[in-house]
Structure 1
Amino acid sequence: IIARLGGDEFVLLVEELGDPAALTEIARKLLAAVSELRKIDGQELNVTLSIGICTYPADGRDSKTLLSGADIAMYRAKDRGRNGFCFYSAELQSHTPEKLALEAGLRHGLERGEFRVYYQPKIDMTTGAITGVEALLRWQHPERGLLLPEKFIHLAEETGLIVPIGLWTLREVCTRAQAWKDAGLPRMPIAVNLSAIQFREEQLVSQLAEILKSTGTEAGILELEITESMVMRDPDEAVKLMRNLRAMGVHLTIDDFGTGYSSLGYLKLFPINNLKVDRSFVRDLPHSKDDVAITRAVIAMAHSLEMNVIAEGVELREQFDVLRNEGCDEFQGYLCRPPLAEEELIRFIREGGTQGKLN
């Protein structure tokens, strides 16, 4: 029996199989058959197949358990490289039932339109004006409610889903930026966090160029946030990529600065617009003399390299006062606003934000 589950997923039920090892032969025959699909109606095709195998009663005694196991095994086959198969086995039991359910739901989250983008305002420390926003991903899970990134991003990276989710986020942000422009809202750069996997994608520049073109978005509206650890894995290649992105007109920000191992020699070569002071240095201001000294040095260094400085995680007025006195340019954090849904952000902007209210 063969049935389509939805999208590009099919399930094959093989009954009365005397030797489970015969499943290996069936899987190989399916892979061979699909590999022969080269053309349909004269159109060239590139078809790949990933197979997950789950057996009764060894791996489960009901259809839900068997389908879940086959689903997990299929994605393990994808992780190893397409055009392969994988048996569900005891070593996959390291995944807790909660994680298995979350992983299965994550795969379908994009198809079902369950992801949301929230926006946290960035504020000029002198005037209180909104200088831009940071786009932050949320997952509106049908059963668990609104999930923050720490609940699913690592899983998305494990499964490789971070790439399509990341592309969806970039397209959504560019689409909203254009809609805000059409609605007469002030020009407002939007920062998007790139994952390490996205940053290493060979097609990142071409994919981004296509998104900007298809949405009609000005490249200068978009800021990409990358961490120093991502850059320092291969600094020379990172510099080439960043220069290509800057040549497009996209702005770049080094996030979580000071928590990794940046070489100052490389930092001066990076074509960076903004540098973010990590929240770990902001948290204990003004009580930690070390953090005050570190923050002062980072701000001075960034300004000497003609970078704009943004402090994140600012929650208290006393933190704000120290940062402003040290010359920090912008901040974001709960002192101003938490991440906002789009309609809340638009209302905040139209009500004037915090301009003139932080003195």
Structure 2
Amino acid sequence: MSRRHATILASTLLLIAMLCAVALVRVPYSELSPGPTVNTLGEYGGEPVLSIDGRESYDTAGNLNMTTVRVTGADYEMTLGEALYSWISDDAAVVPHESLYPDGTTAEEAEQENAEEFSRSQESAKVAALRELGIPVAERTVVKAVVKDGPAEGTLRAGDVIKAVDGSPVTEPSEVAELVTAHEPGEDVVFTVVPVKAATAAEEAGEDPAAAETREVTLTTTAAEDDRAIVGIQAGTAHTFPFEIDIRLADVGGPSAGLMFALGITDKLTEEDLTGGTFVAGTGTITPDGEVGPIGGVTMKTLAARAAGARYFLTPEANCPTAAKARPDGLTLVEVATMDDALAALEDIRADDTESLPVCAAN
């Protein structure tokens, strides 16, 4: 074989090997891409995304779209070729698999976590909206979660209302930890609770869940890693709303729609349209006190919003620098840190007075 033919053969074999590697070699990365965007003021799957029963609500105009990101699943292994293609694509991003699914999170675990975050996000959105409108919302301290194999397992349940610890009334979740850690590990602590079944029945009957019949539960504390006394629960806050607010949106998870749900609820309970008929989209977590938090995949969400027709995008303050670096043409990125910021921006937008809007800037 001549040297020329040998060189050609070697090059061909090398090319085949490279193509095989691109097609077959798996890499520890995941892909993000723009997902669906849904108008919280409209319908999804033939049903209203937001519906209110028991209080006057109003017709709305314009859009307050929540945005999403598509991600490859926890069990999906990208090929080298897929990763390279996504890397150079304008509408996809590649991130380490571990950043989305830490510690070997399974698909089922990821789905469950997203569903729980979405549920908490909806409750926070309802509270933030009603507080913004000056509508009182009753709250109570509850058992949010019970640690497996902890002292409370089998005795306390998620949803139990915590009325007192060692006879001391409890009004905030932080007080539960303070009262428990006042003990030494191995000592008993007495919880006064309304069982979740009784609390749920009271709420369904239109009564105060915290006023239902209580029972006392004695638990023996154990030691945490830092030697504090614990009973193996996470305390949190639950709310009773003065009327029904229903959020229907299937196949969506995570906490990032909180801000847009809160704005949508506020719009439906306000006679004046918040958007003035303008197409506004956005993202951001929301706390019951109306603080807006950062989210992941903001660049993919701005692409989805602009493709859907949005002109303005409400952007969490912490996400602004990243979003501004890849801002789609024709989309104004408005920086917000609180619910009040978002409402002020919407007031300027519907008045067509946008010169003073706090626009996101890249660092």
Tell me the TM-score normalised to structure 1 length. 0.25
The structure with higher relative contact order (CA 8 Å, sep 6+) is 2
User: Rg bigger for which structure?
Assistant: 2
